[in-house]
A and B are shown apart, each in its own frame.
Chain A
Amino acid sequence: MADNILEVKHLKKYFKTARGLLHAVDDVSFTIEKGKTLGIVGESGCGKSTTGRAILRLIEPTDGQVIFEGKDITALSGAQMRAMRRDMQIIFQDPFSSLDPKKTVSQTIAEPIIENKILKDKAAIDAKVRELMKTVGLAERLVNTYPHELDGGRRQRIGIARALAMEPKFIVCDEPVSALDVSIQAQILNLLQELKEQMGLTFIFITHDLSVVNHFADEIAVMYLGQLIEKAPTEELFDHPVHPYTRALLSAIPIPEVGIDRPERILLRGEISSPIDPPNECRFAKRCNYTCEKCHASCPELVEISPGHFVSCHLWKDFI
């Protein structure tokens, strides 16, 4: 039995809207082994960020269980959850809006340490802040600067330092490098990789950039309209994608090489449909090139087609 640090069971998050019930996350289940990175990919509106936040109960799940180290955290009280969050942290996408503009670098990093009463002695807090800054590669001279004086890469390093201040076991990274230029993106990705190896961290890495997760994740979960439609170890997913959406998504990655044989691009029709009161059919049926009667009759279940490879498609047997 693998050592699962996190188990998500039938997680649902619905939002009430004027036009009906928005199914942001609709019955998502998966597990992550300790020390591994799960990449969650999908396009805007597929529910990947909502999933990440619902796991941390930053937004309250509508239904389902989140079991962290054997404990169902959806049942915890506010105070218990607060204590639990020391182990579970998040790094946000936009380093420009996720930092308080009126706080210096050291104040920003010290805040969670003080709030959670991890250290009380001022000198100890100071030492801890400096240590964290060193860990994430922020020069000591920046200790009293404000976010507006820093570039995106450095701001993201502050976000990482803040998350690490709690000495967490598990971090949700929500598009941590999407706002950054490639040369800076590579710096941050390398930093996260080092931290993962040194501290044995478990990550959920949410992104729309498939080449980034390919590099970073051990396993990949593909989401479409609130549902998990395929999950497999990274190499398996890239080498043997099964779901028609996954295949289209992979074929859409622009490859920065010239003079190679490009795989044929699968162009999808139309765009993602509405997540409000979705009909009971395959969510991808409207854009799929293989849709048949079955696909409109019911929503497919997630089945394990080979060890660790899960797919939710009525026609999966035709695609392997």
Chain B
Amino acid sequence: MAVEKDTVLEVENLNVKFVLEEETVEAVNGVSLHIKKGETLGLVGETGAGKTTTALSILRLIDSPPGELTCDKLEVCGKDVLHMTTPELEHIRGSLVSMIFQDPMTSLNPVFTVGQQIAESLELHENLTKSQAWEKAEEMLELVGIPKERAIEYPHQFSGGMKQRVIIAIALACSPQLLIADEPTTALDVTIQAQILHLMRELKEKKNTSMILITHDLGIVAETCDRVAVMYAGKIIEEGNLDEVFNHTIHPYTEGLFNSLPNIKNRRSKLQPIHGLMPDPTNLPKGCAFAPRCNYATDACRERSPQMTEFGGTHRAACLAYENPGFHIERGKKNG
């Protein structure tokens, strides 16, 4: 059971649908994830890939109706989240699992001081008295680099970067086992982003927290994560450690993402965008969802849905083209 203890999150075959009057949005289609203690997983993909829905599902924050969540297994630190009652869920949200949202401008309550907002979760989860919680809140502020005198100030008195620090303080106040950060720096400027990522790395190491970092920025993944999972149309299509995914890319979509990025070292290199658009989640194509945009797609790809396959080490990907033993993508060739 030692292995089990080491696993902070286990998700198996997660499916989330939003059933609307006229159509059904298939947001997440069979996602499996596992995260070990102290590990950071980067969840990468473009708008509409299902990253945020996956994250919200872990906290069971999907509204039903219209959301329909089905899952074979959803466990956080061995606790069955899937079958928890609402009070049980409220107990683990913020204490066992915390979430940082993208937009620091709207995730704080404008009518409470930042100190009160940090103290709130401490009072709820740690059974502290008001004054103890306040003291701890001041401590948390200092930890994220804000002088504790500012605990009595309101969110509007803080800049974007400072607000995101406050949110990190709230998220980490009860020392959660798992932190889900949904695009935590997307709304921030690069120099502030560098500060926040540095802070998150530091705190994570200090507290040995596991983290899911949702982002569209492969640069942030390269600098912050241990493992990466690439999502497309509600599925994980490639997963592995950084070296595997970045230097030995398997999936044509992952390759397309890399080729779309301007190369900072070789500015003359032409961008190779992925042609076409993300498929409509209310009307996903038969077979591989990426096939319509894929340069390597064959008839088989338009017919059958690919399954996650092992490619050695911890590297897994879902691509039918590899059924042909001689197949490799361009980037793969380049990387040897």
Contacts and interface: CB of A to CB of B under 8 A. Distances in A.
Interface residues of B, number: 45
Interface in B180-201: 189-195, 197-198
Question: Max chain B CB contacts within 10 Å: which of A186, A189, A249, A251?
Answer: A186
Interface of A: 43-44, 151, 153, 181-187, 189-190, 208, 210-212, 214-216, 234-235, 238, 248-249, 251-259, 262, 265, 267-268, 271-272
A206 B149 CA distance: 38
A214 B271 CA distance: 12
Interface string B265-297: 001001111110110000000000000000000
Given A210-B190, A267-B198, 11 more contacts: A182-B261, A184-B273, A184-B277, A186-B262, A186-B273, A187-B273, A189-B262, A215-B271, A254-B219, A256-B258, A258-B222
A249 to B, nearest CB: 6
Contacts, number: 117
B223 A190 contact: no
Contacts of A214: 262, 264, 267
B139 interface: no
**4 A-B pairs with least C-beta separation:** A254-B219, A186-B273, A215-B262, A256-B218
A256 B194 contact: no
B220 A254 contact: yes
Contacts of B257: 182-183
A130 to B, nearest CB: 22
B181 to A, nearest CB: 15
Nearest to B189: A43
A251 B223 CA distance: 13
B220 A182 contact: no
A254 B223 contact: yes
Given A211-B262, A254-B223, A258-B243, A183 B194 contact: no
A212 B264 CA distance: 8
B310 to A, nearest CB: 21
A151 B222 CA distance: 29
7 contacts: A153-B277, A181-B46, A186-B259, A234-B267, A253-B190, A259-B243, A265-B194
Nearest to B158: A271
B203 interface: no
B162 A271 contact: yes
A58 to B, nearest CB: 24
Given A151-B277, A268-B195, A185 B190 contact: no
B219 A253 contact: yes
Contacts of A259: 243, 246-247
